[in-house]
Structure 1
């Protein structure tokens, strides 16, 4: 009886170890000789529609009789990206070569034959993973006339190792077999191991595309952006000096007049609206929520880019970049509450709880609404991109139990620390009538349309590389370039909105808050217009699912970018207007004093 129990225990222990050892080895990326190496099958789909993905075994590929291993831990980023790992059941052991052998057979009836023919017609490819290293293969190919279709039946794997780590994986598809209904096709594989000098830290370098991302055009765009910033700063300084010089001369002359002559004198330009400049904006609840959301997007983008520069997130677990972005966005919710809540309080808003809810859920509602709409199409297509109900619940929990409380904390701090009205001058009780514009270019609508052209011209080359990294399945790794572009974009947006605001105020129109925000936000409109050009001329996408996926998420991206640029433009313009008196008193720079003196005299 004791011997029987010992045998049962040994069998159970052997079974448990056979499951846990490959799990531990894969997660630690360290293997001993003859440790099992797991080959995971991810998705299959059209080559030209990279986001239209399906489960690998949605095609009638056969599965061997080996057991399945259900230990893959799907993260939130995996679920949102449609990553659905399934064990291939192929027997692969570390440093143990496998000669070509059959692992299963496909009984090709008419339905299976039609499925493979459809996949080959639409250039289906599939993705696999070994030790987090991606591998791509093609399902099959057609002959030149398109009459006959062939299935690749032989997976030839070549795995490179450095000591006890896997550093390289290559797949060669061979064994082309013609598809004929009511036949049997044998699927085979082989594994060859080779010693490699590639370091484990550098094993993802082969997936990068230096010739694409570090092309001379990319470097030229960075240099061009830098020169545009220098030119725009000089141009803005000259415009402000020339625009405000006449007013400065008038107001300097008025200082020499006595009180009666000054009272009887006429007011010009900016001085006409000095009592209305700091009037609260129209629709302050929506406006403050947009500003708070824009500040949060900027802070989250900055942190994610810095983490991408430091950590090389593309070398970590699958979906780690999206997981990081979600975590950082949720963690920066106090920024949204602080800036949105303080601005709303400064403008005399009293429904601060409603403002907090709108500010907290503005971006998540936009993203989730778009995602859930596309999800219905994904469910109709039976795509792996379909978001499960459990994932929806997790996202809602993050919004209600992480983003909302942190936003509440930020709102309370913003109202307490900087929520008191601090207008540098008294605001008129009755709004001053806005005179008719002598020039149509002084209209807020025209200023808004023109305000986003220069910032978009600064970033449109970088937009091409970002689009290619997402829609063409390239790994984006040049986060240093992205950081420089983000800095240049913010500087240019601020200076452009300052110019737009100066022109508007000089035309005696004090509605500068929304104009400064929208002139910066119009950059997102131009980015979305560019996405149409990229779709029709730079890709070969087709179909309802891919088209809705592309334009839906591009609308989300462009809107978020526009809100960020609008918030940056407004904050910079507001700081420029409000800091005139302080800068004038403290600065020793004659040029800055000459620029700020008119603003100080006329507005402050």
Structure 2
């Protein structure tokens, strides 16, 4: 049975790949789970997930608040990505029966003490939302835009409560949403009469329930009575959150037949009404690429072609040696740079990032990392990072041997450890702060151990294997000989100052991606889905081209100024775009987010610092390899005496 499943899985993957190759412009959807058919009366179990807030960015488990609980709380199996995202999926006392509406079901009764009242007030004040799951679909709260022609917008989860002043109350009060009106949408098969769930919506109400006599299991509510077919329709008498207040939690369930098929059930959740903005982003980025491509073409086809032709025709004439500056530094241009070991480490790490992102993008475009597969994207990125260590070791060792290095094990170890160690140090500090807040976003010790095992048990050995293979290869030979005595670099113009040219070089790569960056930050920090990987892949390709071209252009100007120290500058030129990314993240923090707590601010800037550092390594490596190819091409094309 297992063999059949594996074979069918491979067949599906191969078929999907063939479909993409045949229909290049079309995408298809591979859901995260197999569809499940329900007959009338089948039990539907609702699961609860974390409480989330865009104001604090700190998730909490559902039962961190004194909500009614089932007899036994059972944790659902979560993947690595879900744990790192702070997901805590557990069972709940909400139980439905397929296509059997229910009214005024009582979940439980809670009497608040001072501590629980304070906890509810804090969560309401921080605008926390309750997240639930039914058949792998997240609970959403549908809202209509002011423009009635616009489609319904779905917000994940519902608010724990609200605060404000109602008629008959003095001052600002806190009210809890204790009555939930669920709507389960289903698509019915007319032949078998079975149904599949295609929607899970809620309308929350705050209702001060009333009843006669003492409370017991048979007590009937006056405010919500299924026998009298009287249910909650508004919140005219809301349930206040105060010490010693009694709160009764109830819910309704209604089932609504839908024409939406199971394969399309995520379309409403992923409704994209701003695709014109994404196309504007693509066009904006393409204009930058075309501008740079024109400059590169002018340099390569006109200036360089003319220079090389003259050198090769007039190689015996002395005056030909003095026509342009880049030819004069041929004896120093391949001289190993200062801190060449560190450059090898950064280039190897950048190759590791480049491989991880490319493969992740391919899987995402194929649909394997759709939002229905919660945590799949982060899990895939972590595992791919680990296995791409093979290419990191190979790249750093090849470059290290070209610089006449001999201790390949040392360079492999630094490649395997340096970047993860810096990121881990920041991560541990942030995790300690989150742990102090008792948030579910804190990574458990078991997951920490798994991450350390992935690092030292798989990634480090693979880097060493790649380093061994790379170092055994013949050294890359320089196209020209290097002089024993370094040539003196003449005084440079102000615009060729390293700091100035490096900072200028990072603007265009950032400009190519900053519009798409807005949507990425919004999906991460405002708790929204990001799924437009086709756009993202196009932007990534444009980013690669932009980094390569701007670095080549500035490298050519540098060599023409007889400055041959291009190794590190080529890395830093495109890598400086990470500085602009961090500055934009700071701007986004103050203009789009409402974070007021210090821990949440540290959490935000800590993770954006990690993201910016990773972006620096990635873009720097792209720029370095572009210049590496460019310099070898031009100096191997001329005849040197």
Q: TM-score, normalised by structure 2?
A: 0.81
Give me the whole-angstrom Cα distance separating, in 2, the residues matched to 1:221 and 1:253.
46
Is the alpha carbon distance of 1:47 and 1:508 closer, same or farther for their aligned partners in structure 2, counting shifts above 3 Å?
A: closer
Is the alpha carbon distance of 1:255 and 1:313 closer, same or farther for their aligned partners in structure 2, counting shifts above 3 Å?
A: closer
Q: How does 1:293-304 map to 2 (within 5 A)?
A: 293-304=349-360
Give me the whole-angstrom Cα distance separating, in 2, the residues matched to 1:310 and 1:363.
30
Confirm or deny that 1:502 pairs with 2:556: yes
Give me the whole-angstrom Cα distance separating, in 1, the residues matched to 2:132 and 2:583.
35
Selected match of 2:285 from 203, 220, 225: 225
- The alpha-carbon deviation at position 111 of structure 1 amounts to 2.5
Q: How does 1:171-250 map to 2 (within 5 A)?
A: 171-174=202-205, 175=207, 176-212=238-274, 214=275, 216-239=276-299
The question of whether the paired residues in 2 share the 8 Å contact of 1:444 and 1:504 is answered with no
The question of whether the paired residues in 1 share the 8 Å contact of 2:325 and 2:561 is answered with yes
Q: How does 1:12-51 map to 2 (within 5 A)?
A: 29-49=36-56, 51=57
SS at the partner of 1:70? coil
Selected match of 1:422 from 477, 491, 497: 477
SS at the partner of 1:348? coil
Larger deviation, residues 171-180 vs 391-400: 171-180
| Deviations 1:394-416 (CA, angstroms, capped at 9, x unpaired) | 00000011111221222122222
Structure 2 residue runs of 5 or longer lacking an equivalent are 1-32, 140-156, 188-193, 208-237
- The alpha-carbon deviation at position 357 of structure 1 amounts to 1.5
Give me the whole-angstrom Cα distance separating, in 2, the residues matched to 1:315 and 1:450.
37
Give me the whole-angstrom Cα distance separating, in 1, the residues matched to 2:454 and 2:105.
48
Selected match of 1:468 from 500, 507, 522: 522
Is the alpha carbon distance of 1:87 and 1:513 closer, same or farther for their aligned partners in structure 2, counting shifts above 3 Å?
A: same
**RMSD (CA atoms):** 2.3
The question of whether the paired residues in 1 share the 8 Å contact of 2:523 and 2:529 is answered with yes
Q: How does 1:284-299 map to 2 (within 5 A)?
A: 284-299=340-355
Selected match of 1:552 from 600, 606, 631: 606
- The alpha-carbon deviation at position 222 of structure 1 amounts to 0.6
Which residue does 1:385 correspond to in 2? 441
Q: How does 1:112-511 map to 2 (within 5 A)?
A: 112-135=116-139, 136-144=157-165, 147-162=172-187, 163-174=194-205, 175=207, 176-212=238-274, 214=275, 216-239=276-299, 251=311, 254-255=314-315, 257=317, 268-417=324-473, 419-437=474-492, 439-511=493-565
- The alpha-carbon deviation at position 248 of structure 1 amounts to 5.6
- The alpha-carbon deviation at position 448 of structure 1 amounts to 1.0
The question of whether the paired residues in 2 share the 8 Å contact of 1:240 and 1:499 is answered with no
Confirm or deny that 1:514 pairs with 2:568: yes
Which residue does 1:536 correspond to in 2? 590
Q: TM-score, normalised by structure 1?
A: 0.86
SS at the partner of 1:187? strand
- The alpha-carbon deviation at position 362 of structure 1 amounts to 3.1
- The alpha-carbon deviation at position 365 of structure 1 amounts to 2.1
| Deviations 1:237-269 (CA, angstroms, capped at 9, x unpaired) | 335667658856874674353xxx579x75751
| Deviations 1:42-62 (CA, angstroms, capped at 9, x unpaired) | 12243433x211111212222
Give me the whole-angstrom Cα distance separating, in 1, the residues matched to 2:131 and 2:173.
25
Give me the whole-angstrom Cα distance separating, in 2, the residues matched to 1:318 and 1:149.
33
Give me the whole-angstrom Cα distance separating, in 2, the residues matched to 1:529 and 1:159.
44
Is the alpha carbon distance of 1:68 and 1:96 closer, same or farther for their aligned partners in structure 2, counting shifts above 3 Å?
A: farther
Give me the whole-angstrom Cα distance separating, in 2, the residues matched to 1:137 and 1:534.
25
- The alpha-carbon deviation at position 366 of structure 1 amounts to 3.0
SS at the partner of 1:327? helix
SS at the partner of 1:193? strand
SS at the partner of 1:178? coil
Is the alpha carbon distance of 1:388 and 1:27 closer, same or farther for their aligned partners in structure 2, counting shifts above 3 Å?
A: farther
- The alpha-carbon deviation at position 70 of structure 1 amounts to 2.4
The question of whether the paired residues in 2 share the 8 Å contact of 1:113 and 1:181 is answered with yes
